[in-house]
Amino acid sequence: MVDAGSEADGLPNEVLALRRKICAGDAAMERWVQLANDLPAVCRLGLATRGGDCRLTADDCWHALERGISYWNWCGADDGMGAAVRQLGKGREKVVIAFQLEARTAEAAWRELERVLRTLGTDRVEVATFYYVEHESEWQTIAGKRGALTALRQAKEQKVVRLIGLTSHQRKLAAQIAETGALDLLMVRYNAAHTGAERDVFPVTQRLGLPVIVYTCTRWAQLMRPTPFDPPNFSPPPAREWYRFALAHPAVSVALMAPSDRKELDENLQLLDDWRAPTPEEEALLRQHGERVRRYRRWFP
């Protein structure tokens, strides 16, 4: 059996101990998180939209909200989530809206932010993360004299943005930037096939008390598919189990699901009816299949 902390080398002992307690059922897996004192508590299972084959409608987003899913990560397209935000009315106070900012300069950031507010029909967004900062030079531009960070700080002073974050696949770079104190949260990839955040990111964010939003929890659905290395009679667990895996880590604030349609959304929402961490045996199974997927698929951006 794989130990719950065997792939988490570098994590503080107290974090490993807490994770083991959670997975053993001796500590509760929190359902709610408050990302800032002046923001509403949100369910730690969040909802994201994406381009391509995402067919979520406004009604689907409302359905998720009725089940308590109130952290919404909008992909920037005028989609069902955008329509749902425009329809929120007084319900807007219950929802934390996040989006990814592509701009790197202050001027471009203001233009993009104004477009976002106009498209969503709102006067504010709670979370803005710099989109896919993959190189240190990008961050130097963002944090420079006329960089986008200046614009978001001004927007934060004006209460147009509440939390400033960064999205990246480069774990060590993300952690390094977090250490500067310039960010309010991080958004990184984390799943059972790609556990490097346990080593490179989570120890830093735990020490800083920085919230972490995680994405790609199912590794683009590949964790739900078999590999040639699977043991006999093995059936890959459904998506909700991979979200359970991510949420069991005490450093994770919100794990984003990105269902294609209402059917996938309802399947994911079954996690709410069985809200708990995986048992040690279940976590071992998830980690083992994650490693098989990593070996089989190989390519990880």
pLDDT at position 52 is: 73
* Mean pLDDT, rounded, for 193-198: 97
Cβ count near 167 (within 10 Å): 22
Amino acid at 203: P
CB-hemisphere CA count at 13 Å for 238? 11
Please give the sequence-ordered ranges of beta strands (E in DSSP) within the chain, or none if there are none: 32-33, 42-43, 45-48, 71-74, 96-101, 125-130, 161-168, 185-189, 212-215, 254-257
Q: What is the pTM of this model?
A: 0.90
Q: pLDDT (tens digit, 9 = 90+) per residue, 114-133?
A: 999 999 999 999 999 999 99
pLDDT at position 299 is: 65
Between CA 237 and CA 22 the distance in angstroms is 20
Between CA 111 and CA 118 the distance in angstroms is 11
Q: pLDDT (tens digit, 9 = 90+) per residue, 267-287?
A: 999 999 999 999 999 999 999
Q: How confident is the model at residue 7 (pLDDT cuts 50, 70, 90)?
A: very low
Q: How confident is the model at residue 297 (pLDDT cuts 50, 70, 90)?
A: confident
Q: pLDDT (tens digit, 9 = 90+) per residue, 84-102?
A: 999 999 999 999 999 999 9
Q: pLDDT (tens digit, 9 = 90+) per residue, 30-77?
A: 999 999 999 999 999 999 998 777 899 999 999 999 999 999 999 999
Q: pLDDT (tens digit, 9 = 90+) per residue, 210-267?
A: 999 999 999 999 999 999 999 999 999 999 999 999 999 999 999 999 999 999 999 9
Q: Which domains are present in the chain? A: 40-296 (3.20.20.100)
